[in-house]
Amino acid sequence: MDDSIKDALGITDTRVTFDEKFKQTHSEEITPKGVAYVWNLKLSYPMNCPNCKKRMNYNGTKTVIHQAIPTGTKLNFFRIRKQKYLCKYCGNTEIAMLKDVNKREHIFKAVKQKAALDIAEDASFKLIAKENNISANTVTRTALSLGAYLKPNYKFLPNHIAFDDFKSGKFSKSGMSILLVNISNHRTIDVIADRGGKSLEKNFLTYTRKAPEAVMTVTVDLFSPYRPIIANVFPNAIILADHFHVVVQAYTALQQVRIRIMKGFKKDSREHRQLSKFWKLIVKRNTDLNRSNRYRRRNFRGAMLTSEEIVQRLLQLSPELRSAYNFYQDILFVIQNQDAQLLKQKIWPDKDDPQYEAFPKEMNRAKLTLRRHYQEISNSFIKDYKGYTNGPVEGCNNKIKVIKRTAYGFRNFTNFRLRILVAFSTSFYSINYKNSLKQLNKKTTNPPERELVA
């Protein structure tokens, strides 16, 4: 059999030849998977008995059909007449093995490896299976067969980590799972099934003692139950509060105040329409408001107003709204300038402040939350830890949503975790996974002689 034909068909086993029993080397036939080329091949070689090491006798042949990689738009099937063997000394029987196919399987390794690589793409398992003319279960089994490369390294954790929760539904009792990320290089470390109860703490305790002790910082949101877990698991780490979630506290409170005041006016009133239409200007950074261009504003009786003037008119509707707005702008300024002293002045009450009495209850709750996490927020302002935020983790969460939507759900957490880890191309798992496929490719291209030949 010509080597160029073998290369084109994806055959690396040098012992395969065309079957002289058939006049044609191949024919176009209708198979359960559609019209395909069926190649007539033969596989025979001398074999020694794996038990007694004696030469085995030929004992007839067995025809087996294997699915190979397609050529163009046509599928390829190999009808291989394999040699059967019988040992006259111990009675053991064997059959010739094709190196391109695993034992007791009928699909070429190359087909499965291509399907495994496709898992990193934005496609469902069913679509990947359809494109490779195999079943979805075969895609899953092929990916899971490389599970050794997806096991966490329980002897190592990076110095700076971050984690955040995402909705995983039925896979966890709390409905939320955890994504663990190396915040220094934005690489995904692992996906933890459940954040609730003691599941998260138990997961970290599976690491060796030195691994958690090496962690210097943990960047998280303001979810209080994380604090005792971090203190127990990472004795040498300090907690950095994520800046986005700090701002969210004031943002949410400001929106609640605006909605409450808006509902205090009648739905058909001008004030209700103004607070409803221009809410985006209220939550915008004060310094980013347009102060030069004037436009005719229908909700302000056709007045020519800038964005900054609109905000000032809205704040005149309620002293509570003005007080909440000023506090929200102060928090934005503090985070932008990373001024811990100024933050302390803003979140601790000052009864001499004329706005103290008009401070809304919604914003008071935000203040209490920021006071409770003041030390963590001030830690995030330290120069050495500048830039350590949960931003990369939040970005990963968005991609997880796309994975869930594309797959139309997962049956078990193992498949869900596998898909997430492989989908992030910079994760340790994805790198190891692709390297493992390359190694398998090399072994397939240059297979070792495993048969015992006399």
**pLDDT above 60 for 424:** yes
Is the Cβ–Cβ distance between 206 and 185 less than 8 Å? no
Q: For 235-273, how does the pLDDT look when each residue is reduced to its tens digit (9 = 90+)?
A: 999 999 999 999 999 999 999 999 999 999 999 999 999
pTM of the model: 0.75
DSSP-derived letter for residue 288 is G
In the predicted model, is pLDDT for residue 433 greater than 70?
Answer: no
**What beta strand segments (E) does 283-381 contain?**
295-297, 303-305
Confidence of residue 450 (pLDDT cuts 50, 70, 90): very low
pLDDT at 122 over 90: no
DSSP three-state, residue 144? helix
Q: Is pLDDT larger for residue 446 or for residue 66?
A: 66
b/e map of 23-32 (b: 16 or more CB within 10 Å)? eeebeeeeee
| pLDDT average, residue stretch 208-231 | 91
Amino acid at site 393: V
Q: Which residues pair with 164 in a beta bridge?
A: 179
Q: Which residues of 385-411 are buried (b: 16+ CB within 10 A; e: fewer)?
A: beebbbbbbbebeeebeebbeebeebe
- For 315-356, the pLDDT digits (tens) are 999 999 999 999 999 999 999 999 999 999 988 876 556 555
In DSSP terms, 241 is beta-bridged to 220
- What pLDDT score was predicted for residue 386? 82
Quick: pLDDT tens for 126-183.
888 888 888 888 888 887 776 666 677 788 899 999 999 888 878 888 888 999 999 9
The Cα–Cα gap between 393 and 319 comes to 38
Report the mean per-residue pLDDT for the chain: 86
User: Looking at residue 438, what is its pLDDT?
Assistant: 66
Buried b (16+ CB within 10 A) or exposed e, 363-373: beebbebbeeb
Q: Using CA atoms, how far apart are residues 99 and 12, in angstroms rounded to an integer?
A: 7
Pairing of strands 93-95, 26-31: unpaired
**Mean pLDDT value across residues 355-370:** 84
Q: Of 302-306, 341-345, 354-358, 412-416, where does mean pLDDT reach its minimum?
A: 354-358
Average pLDDT over residues 385-402: 85
| Residue 449: pLDDT band with limits 50, 70, 90 | very low
Across the strands, what pairs with 43? 16, 82
Q: Is the pLDDT of residue 234 over 90?
A: yes
Q: Which residue has the higher pLDDT, 448 or 47?
A: 47
Q: Is the pLDDT of residue 97 over 50?
A: yes
